Structure 1
Amino acid sequence: MPAIEQSDDAVLARLAASKQADGSPFLAPHHVAAGNRLAQLVERSRLSPRVTMSYDASRIGRSGGNGVGDASDSAADARQRLNRLASLLPTDCWGVVFDVYGLGKGLQLIETERRWPRRSAKLVLRIGLEQLAGIMGLSAGAEGPAGGRQTGWLETRLPLIAGTAP
């Protein structure tokens, strides 16, 4: 199972480790991988605000904002990808997934802010991660082309040494 890269979020680690009634994990490995990819995309997009002062001379006198004009090409591309993902996911699912992986909010805080019943954000998170994994091409099992049996290009095997049987 892929490791959750957000070390400070024990809630997601517990959800990935917790078992359902049938013995399967609540968050499958493809859910965790989709969440980790989203967290990396948010990190690359540089959407989080600066919390420390920068005394860099090149920044003094500039707007120093978080706008598109201040973003690098990589950050602008990541923001476009996030925008595309937001448009493909259902609104509530995107909101919960982004709050957890992008803003680092806990599930209880999300339920309180939205006035949802207890444990409902957990289910919406899993539904959102399932949708996100499908968009990213991740699935629960490895899937290959149909009829993926290995075949050789020769009808019979050639002998290693000429004049001997194979």
Structure 2
Amino acid sequence: MASTRDDDVLSRLAGNRDGAGPAFLAPHHLAAAQRLEQLVRWAQLAPRVTMSYDLANVGGRARSGNGVETASDGAADARLRLSRIASALPADCWGVLFDVCGLGKGLQLIETERRWPRRSAKLVLRIGLDQLASQFGLSAQATGSGTGTRHWLEERLPLIAEDAASAG
């Protein structure tokens, strides 16, 4: 699915080259990209790069091996989730996210295919990852209720019988 080139793109953008400022992509961006990549893998949408020896696909049947009628329930559910994500994102953001996280394309290739200026795919990728992370409930800062730690026991029980006798 995702090639080492895709991993290089995301890890390079998440790394801090000079150490002077924050990285271009934050950890929540990478987590969102990993979730999207997993969904694409579950949806079985990536093109095959090897031959399939499955007997159901041999013989020039009219059905494609990647169609809705041959998809498992998990793949169909993943495709539905991807469709919802795609409809909630701007078209350009979704296209770049799918190309990078789903198909493993590099940013230069995306810019060339779409006839975009240099470094524009990088910005669109970050905008898309921001919106995708918010859809997944991921953010740069951890948030919580602020009530502190809660325990399932009101007080700690003694571990040794002597401690129990002295406590009681």
TM tier relative to shorter chain: 0.7 to 0.9
The total of aligned residue pairs comes to 158
Q: Contact 2:68–2:76 (CA<8 Å) still a contact in 1?
A: yes
5 Å-filtered alignment, 1:74-85, equals 74-85=74-85
Distance in 2 between residues matched to 1:33 and 1:137, nearest whole Å:
11
State the secondary structure of the residue aligned to 1:99: helix
RMSD between superposed Cα atoms in Å: 2.7
1:36 matches 2:34: yes
Partner of 2:70: 70
Which blocks of at least 5 consecutive residues in structure 2 are unaligned? 156-162
Distance in 1 between residues matched to 2:38 and 2:149, nearest whole Å:
36
Distance in 1 between residues matched to 2:142 and 2:124, nearest whole Å:
25
Shift of 1:149: 5.7
Shift of 1:53: 2.5
Which blocks of at least 5 consecutive residues in structure 1 are unaligned? 155-159
State the secondary structure of the residue aligned to 2:56: coil
Shift of 1:162: 6.9
TM-score, normalising length: structure 2: 0.80
Matched AA of 2:39 = L
Identity %: 63
5 Å-filtered alignment, 1:18-29, equals 18=16, 23-29=21-27
Q: Contact 1:20–1:26 (CA<8 Å) still a contact in 2?
A: no
The C-alpha deviation readout for 1:67-92, integer Å capped at 9, x for no partner, is 10011111111110110000011111
Call closer, same or farther: CA 1:114–1:21 in 2, change over 3 Å: farther
Q: Which has the higher helix share?
A: 2
Shift of 1:38: 0.4
